């Protein structure tokens, strides 16, 4: 049986106006998102994209500006909410649970994003929506990833690739990368971060995963990882050491008109998550980001050169490697990478005035 909550916090209702002696609610200039829930869950809505504020129980919300919480009806508004389930129940919300005017060719929103444990964000809302939410009893229908976490390292698990609100524990479930919905169809992933103690190193690679029922271990940033296309339960042992792994080191040399950002992997360049003002970088596996010393196949170094307006860069590399390549990330920003690096490297970036 579906239920609708009728608690109307002040920031969710419109103006109250008098009409023939009766008060009616005047809809604000925003799109409405209605929540339909069963008897095993309720919804609470955040005023804006700030999860430190206490959410308010509600049966609907309106599209708002992410920072100010003011109503928006320009296609840029969003709604942030959390689903509260009864004990022993879970939710697996996905785009299939959102309905809208059937005459529309395209969905009037951009993404349903899983932000944390049962916390969601619907972005770029351009029409009224209905979110149908059902709680399911038992354990999620998904594969488990169980982490062995030794001393001197801690673990943060995330519901999706957004990696905003961490979850406690050492067991994660395979999920959709956007919505965070539980998946057991071989397309699920697990996103997590590892935090070594000071003066300790966690050099994670594929050897840390016992089973082979997954596609890739991807480094998405410094100590941020994603295991993709999971097709079975996995066990991951986080390696921790107080000794820096054996490595090849790339040293950047640049002038005053250039700043270097280094990346731990190809995925990190696509996510545009790097270390700004870098002076060195380790040679790594291009996917997992593991620091490696491979004198046969070698490793990679990813970096970008940010030069002052009106200048262009020239790059020279000394050391043993195969090639220097240029590419662009998902935002269209250029970056470089060196392939098959089998020694220490010196990467020199010089700038010159661009001739117009």
pLDDT digits (tens, 9 = 90+) for 76-87: 999 999 999 999
Residue at 10 is within a domain: no
Question: Given 90, 116, 137, which residue is the final one in a domain?
Answer: 137
> Which residues span the domain enclosing 325?
249-353
Quick one: average pLDDT of 144-159? Answer: 97
| Confidence at residue 163, expressed as pLDDT on a 0 to 100 scale | 85
% residues pLDDT > 70 (the chain):
93
210-227 tens-digit pLDDT: 999 999 999 999 899 999
260-317 tens-digit pLDDT: 999 999 999 988 899 999 999 999 999 999 999 999 999 999 999 999 999 999 999 9
Q: Cβ(5)–Cβ(57) under 8 Å? A: yes
| Confidence at residue 4, expressed as pLDDT on a 0 to 100 scale | 43
155-190 tens-digit pLDDT: 999 999 988 999 989 999 999 999 999 999 999 999
* Count of CB atoms situated within 10 Å of the CB of 276: 10
Whether residues 255 and 345 fall in one domain: yes
Helix intervals (H) in the chain = 266-271
DSSP class per residue in 39-89: TTEEEEEESSS-TTSPPEE-SEEE-B-TTT--B--SS-EEEEEEEEEPTTE
| Confidence at residue 24, expressed as pLDDT on a 0 to 100 scale | 57
Total count of domains within the chain = 3
Nearest CA to 62 out of 115, 17, 112, 128 is that of: 128
End-to-end Cα separation, the chain, in angstroms: 70
Quick one: average pLDDT of 180-205? Answer: 96
Whether residues 74 and 122 fall in one domain: yes
Res 98 pLDDT > 70 = yes
| Confidence at residue 333, expressed as pLDDT on a 0 to 100 scale | 87
DSSP class per residue in 221-249: ETTEEEEEEE-S-EEEE---BSSPPP--E
Q: Give residue 6's pLDDT band: very low, low, confident or very high (50, 70, 90).
A: very low
| Confidence at residue 1, expressed as pLDDT on a 0 to 100 scale | 41
| Confidence at residue 7, expressed as pLDDT on a 0 to 100 scale | 42
Residue at 133 is within a domain: yes
Whether residues 125 and 149 fall in one domain: no
3-state secondary structure of 296: coil
Distance CA 185, CA 191 (A): 17
Question: Given 237, 269, 303, which residue is the final one in a domain?
Answer: 237
Whether residues 28 and 130 fall in one domain: yes
Q: How far is CA 43 from CA 11, 34, 80, in A?
A: 15, 10, 10
| Confidence at residue 52, expressed as pLDDT on a 0 to 100 scale | 93
| Confidence at residue 39, expressed as pLDDT on a 0 to 100 scale | 96
> Looking at residue 271, what DSSP letter applies?
H
Quick one: average pLDDT of 89-99? Answer: 94
Distance CA 300, CA 340 (A): 6
Distance CA 77, CA 70 (A): 9
Whether residues 133 and 169 fall in one domain: no
Question: Given 237, 271, 305, which residue is the final one in a domain?
Answer: 237
| Contacts for 70 with CB less than 8 Å, ≥ 6 apart | 64
| Confidence at residue 117, expressed as pLDDT on a 0 to 100 scale | 87
Comparing 7 with 167, the larger pLDDT belongs to 167
| Confidence at residue 21, expressed as pLDDT on a 0 to 100 scale | 54
Whether residues 72 and 119 fall in one domain: yes
Whether residues 72 and 105 fall in one domain: yes
Whether residues 219 and 290 fall in one domain: no
Whether residues 55 and 149 fall in one domain: no
Quick one: average pLDDT of 56-71? Answer: 96
Comparing 148 with 330, the larger pLDDT belongs to 148
Quick one: average pLDDT of 32-48? Answer: 97
């Amino acid at each position: 049986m579906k239920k609708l909550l009728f608690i109307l916090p002040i920031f969710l209702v419109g103006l109250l106006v008098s009409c023939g002696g009766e008060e009616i609610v005047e809809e604000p200039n925003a799109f409405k998102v209605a929540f339909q829930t069963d008897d095993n869950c309720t919804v609470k809505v955040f005023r804006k994209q700030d999860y430190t504020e206490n959410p308010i129980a509600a049966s609907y919300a309106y599209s708002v500006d992410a920072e100010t919480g003011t109503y928006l009806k320009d296609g840029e508004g969003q709604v942030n909410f959390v689903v509260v389930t009864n004990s022993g129940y879970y939710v697996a919300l996905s785009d299939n649970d959102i309905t809208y005017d059937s005459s529309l060719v395209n969905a009037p929103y951009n993404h349903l994003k899983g932000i944390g444990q049962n916390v969601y964000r619907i972005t770029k809302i351009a029409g009224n929506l209905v979110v149908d939410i059902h709680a399911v009893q038992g354990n999620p229908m998904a594969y488990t990833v169980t982490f062995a976490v030794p001393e001197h390292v801690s673990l943060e698990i995330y519901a999706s690739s957004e990696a905003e609100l961490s979850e406690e524990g050492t067991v994660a479930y395979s999920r959709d990368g956007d919505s965070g919905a539980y998946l057991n169809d071989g397309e699920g992933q697990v996103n997590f971060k590892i935090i070594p103690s000071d003066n300790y190193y966690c050099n994670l690679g594929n050897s840390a995963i016992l089973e082979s029922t997954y596609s890739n271990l991807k480094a998405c940033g410094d100590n941020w990882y994603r295991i993709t296309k999971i097709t079975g339960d996995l066990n991951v042992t986080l390696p921790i050491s107080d000794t820096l792994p054996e490595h090849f080191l790339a040293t950047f040399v640049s002038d005053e008109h250039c700043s270097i950002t280094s990346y731990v992997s190809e995925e990190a360049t696509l996510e545009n998550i790097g270390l700004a003002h870098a002076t060195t970088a380790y040679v790594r596996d291009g996917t997992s980001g593991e620091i490696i010393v491979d004198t046969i196949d070698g490793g990679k170094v990813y970096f970008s050169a940010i030069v002052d307006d009106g200048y262009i860069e020239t790059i020279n590399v000394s050391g043993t490697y195969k090639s220097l390549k240029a590419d662009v990330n998902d935002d269209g920003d250029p970056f470089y990478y060196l392939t098959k690096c089998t020694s220490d490297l010196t990467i020199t970036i010089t700038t010159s005035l661009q001739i117009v």
